[in-house]
Structure 1
Amino acid sequence: MQDASSLPENLTILGPTLLSPEQLDAFVRTVHPGAPKLGSYYSHLGGYYGIRGDVAYAQAIHETDYFRYTGVVRSSQNNYAGIGATGGEVRGASFETAEQGVLAHLQHLYAYATEAPLPDHYPLVDPRFDLVNRGSAPTWVDLNGKWAVPGDTYGQSIVNLYGRMLQFATQE
């Protein structure tokens, strides 16, 4: 497993998932024991889309404050990426199930990461997919100012959190 301190700043959104679903869920539960178990969705669906599901999970942790929902998005929305939440009282999109929320998150990342057509095994559930400048953020740091505004260190925050997840996994 890659050493957390050697993570490149230009870590791509597309790539392999290194951490297991169990490691993902165990990490988040060190901070929030009541966090939902979403690791299997991020691992499986991340693999389908060719997205680093474990880093996307780190993004979800960042967006939801370890699934404690201290911002405008509420847990009942199953919106783990803050899709459509623009601040104030604009809570963003809602998804019927946890799996659908993860699917929307990964589809949104896919739109940023590549210009390739969206694979069609799953229906498009990301309501903002067509609003993304396709392929404009192939790396996590490229999401700065795009996913979160101004978000000058948004991508770095995700990569750093992922590094902590890798360290946790090696200590288990």
Structure 2
Amino acid sequence: MGPTFLSPENMNQYVKEINPNAARLGSYYATLGEFYGIRGDIAFAQAMHETDYLRFTGVVKPEQNNFCGLGATGPDNPGASFATPEEGVRAHMQHLFAYASTNPLPADYPKIDPRFDLVTRGSATEWIGLNGKWAVPGSNYGQSILNLYERMVESTLQKLEQILQDIQV
């Protein structure tokens, strides 16, 4: 839980460096992150981890709009599908909310996470708390997400440093 620090554009620019064809999901992660009180920028990093930077090289396919692998367990079960990218991000944020909080879901949006009620509520209040829960065995799952987030922040800082250098010239 907590505020999102990277802007939607920072998130989108980062993934575009790796996958120029990536969809622009940063605004959904920032807006829905704020709504649910979830770190939208780190959730975005989790989506990049789960989808191989929106290249979807695993069992989940792009048309599923499932950016976090909800319900995907293998080739015979690619997991949940959502009608739009925004719904897919909302399901992702709802699933994180289930792990991070014991509060009821805010009523503004209907529950679309098909696995929300399967989560032990409040059992992962930090990202590393997802180890062994989101991905099994996943003993370093949370650390992988945080490492990817750190690379996103470093990339953003490098861009800002370049802008500052350009201004000083």
TM-score range, shorter-chain basis? over 0.9
Q: Which runs of 5+ in 2 are unaligned?
A: 160-169
- State the TM-score, normalized to the length of structure 2: 0.93
The alpha-carbon deviation at position 86 of structure 1 amounts to: 1.0
Q: Give the secondary-structure state (helix, strand or coil) at the position aligned to 1:30.
A: helix
1:80-91 maps to which residues of 2 (within 5 A)? Answer: 80-91=67-78
Q: How does 1:30-41 map to 2 (within 5 A)?
A: 30-41=17-28
Task: Report the identity percentage.
Answer: 62
| 1:15 and 2:38 aligned | no
User: C-alpha displacement at 1:88, in angstroms?
Assistant: 3.0
The aligned residue for residue 77 of structure 1 is 64
Please state whether the residue corresponding to 1:163 is helix, strand or coil.
helix
Point out the structure with the larger helix share: 2
- 2:66 counterpart of 1:55: no
SS in 1 for 2:34: helix
* Superposition RMSD in Å: 0.5
Residue 126 of structure 1 corresponds to 113
Among candidates 152, 155, 160, match of residue 139 of structure 2: 152
The 5 Å alignment of 1:87-166 reads 87-166=74-153
Please give the per-residue CA displacement for 1:84-117, whole angstroms capped at 9, x wherever unaligned. 0012321000000000000000000000001011
> Deviation digits for residues 60-104 of structure 1, max 9, x if unmatched?
000000000010000000000000001232100000000000000
**Distance in structure 2 (CA, Å) of the matches to 1:20 and 1:59:** 16
CA distance in structure 2 between the aligned counterparts of 1:92 and 1:46, rounded to whole angstroms: 22
CA distance in 2, matches of 1:130, 1:148: 17
Displaced runs of 4+ in structure 1, greater than 2 A?
none
Specify the structure having the higher radius of gyration (Cα): 2
5+ residue gaps, structure 1: 1-13
Q: What is the distance in 1 between the residues matched to 2:150 and 2:96? A: 19
- Give the letter aligned to residue 88 of structure 2: G
TM-superposed CA distance for 1:171, in Å, is 1.1
* Equivalent residues, number: 159
